[in-house]
A = this chain, B = another copy of it.
Amino acid sequence: MDIKKYILGKKKIIDKALDRYLPAGSLKPQIIHRAMRYSVFPGGKRIRPVFTIAGFQACGGKDDSVMPVACGIELVHSYTLVHDDMPCMDDDDYRRGKKTCHKKFGEDIALLVGDGLLTLAFQVIAESRNIDVIKEISKAIGTRGIIGGQVADILGKDKNIEYINLKKTAVLFEIAVKSGGIIKGASKREINALGDFGRDIGFTFQLLDDLKDKDGYVKLFGAGRAKEKAEFLAKRAKRHLKIFGKKAETLLNLADLIAAS
């Protein structure tokens, strides 16, 4: 299979669904809806929701009942970016080649855009009518998960880099893949395997990002150790998928693509 083509195809479907879920820019108050759309589009590869869809497929899922959760995961990712960019956090002026939300719309609107995207994420996820997925996602993105990683990042990268990479990045990949299995009604064993895979590949993703930016893990432990660890984790990630047999093909290809980037 051509994995790059697969991702592009799914990105189109995800973007169409996101466009349907986001309030129109003509709806009042217009500025917040425009700012939300500005922050979500055009977006990147949509790799997290692609993982959700691939996780769903690994458990035998074929229909589009996974879409609300896949889009919810992307909306969560978008909210974290908007809040992370704000002056009291990373204070970034640009993201993906355009002005950050607060630079374009002001800090007050950016704060509310983040709040609005997080709230919309739960509204969209609720469309799946699956209470377990809401429980798992809210736990993963809370103060013992993603927000906890953000706090550790504020407290100081040097002491907590493993914890930060795990919570800020790996946990969202973990819950993204897992959610696909939960929606399909997979077994506990399958859901746990998806989670283990997602966490390892998410950590790999972050290490390779650190290598590109010469930041984080690389700054503290050097490029050699970071590369070694990334290779180890990408291999281990794939081993978690053995129980799925051939149905895990897409997830395996996604893992290889990330490891090669």
Chain copies in the assembled complex: 2
* A29 to B, closest residue via Cβ: B151
- Pick out which of these stretches binds chain B: A42-50, A104-112, A196-204, A235-243: A104-112
* A154 to B, closest residue via Cβ: B108
Inter-subunit contact B89/A147 (CB<8 Å): no
Q: Is A28 an interface residue (CB 8 A)?
A: yes
Inter-subunit contact B115/A154 (CB<8 Å): no
Inter-subunit contact B116/A126 (CB<8 Å): no
Inter-subunit contact A23/B144 (CB<8 Å): yes
Inter-subunit contact A143/B116 (CB<8 Å): yes
Inter-subunit contact B118/A115 (CB<8 Å): yes
Inter-subunit contact A88/B107 (CB<8 Å): yes
* Closest-CB distance, A24 to chain B (whole angstroms): 11
Q: Is A233 an interface residue (CB 8 A)?
A: no
Taking a contact as CB atoms closer than 8 A, the residue among B27, B119, B127, B141 that contacts A141 in the complex is B119
Which residues of chain A in 104-146 are interfacial with respect to chain B, using CB atoms and an 8 Å cutoff? 106-109, 111-112, 114-116, 118-120, 122-123, 126-127, 129-131, 134-135, 138-139, 141-144
Inter-subunit contact A134/B111 (CB<8 Å): no
Inter-subunit contact B142/A119 (CB<8 Å): yes
Interface residues on A, range: 35 or more
Inter-subunit contact A123/B111 (CB<8 Å): no
- Pick out which of these stretches binds chain B: A30-38, A53-61, A178-186: A30-38
Q: Is A83 an interface residue (CB 8 A)?
A: yes
Q: Is A1 an interface residue (CB 8 A)?
A: no
Inter-subunit contact B155/A142 (CB<8 Å): no
Q: How far is the CA of A260 from the CA of B74 in the complex (A)?
A: 47
Residues of chain B contacted by A138 (CB below 8 angstroms): 119-120, 122-123, 126
Q: Is A86 an interface residue (CB 8 A)?
A: yes
Which residues of chain A in 71-119 are interfacial with respect to chain B, using CB atoms and an 8 Å cutoff? 79, 83, 86, 88-89, 106-109, 111-112, 114-116, 118-119
Taking a contact as CB atoms closer than 8 A, the residue among B32, B111, B126 that contacts A83 in the complex is B111
- Interchain residue pairs with CB less than 8 A apart (16): A23-B143, A27-B144, A29-B151, A29-B152, A32-B151, A86-B111, A89-B111, A109-B154, A112-B147, A119-B138, A119-B141, A120-B138, A123-B142, A126-B134, A129-B131, A131-B134
Chain A residues in the interface with B (C-beta under 8 A): 23, 27-29, 31-33, 36, 79, 83, 86, 88-89, 106-109, 111-112, 114-116, 118-120, 122-123, 126-127, 129-131, 134-135, 138-139, 141-144, 147-148, 150-152, 154-155
Which 3 residue pairs are nearest across A and B when measured between Cβ atoms?
A88-B107, A123-B138, A29-B151
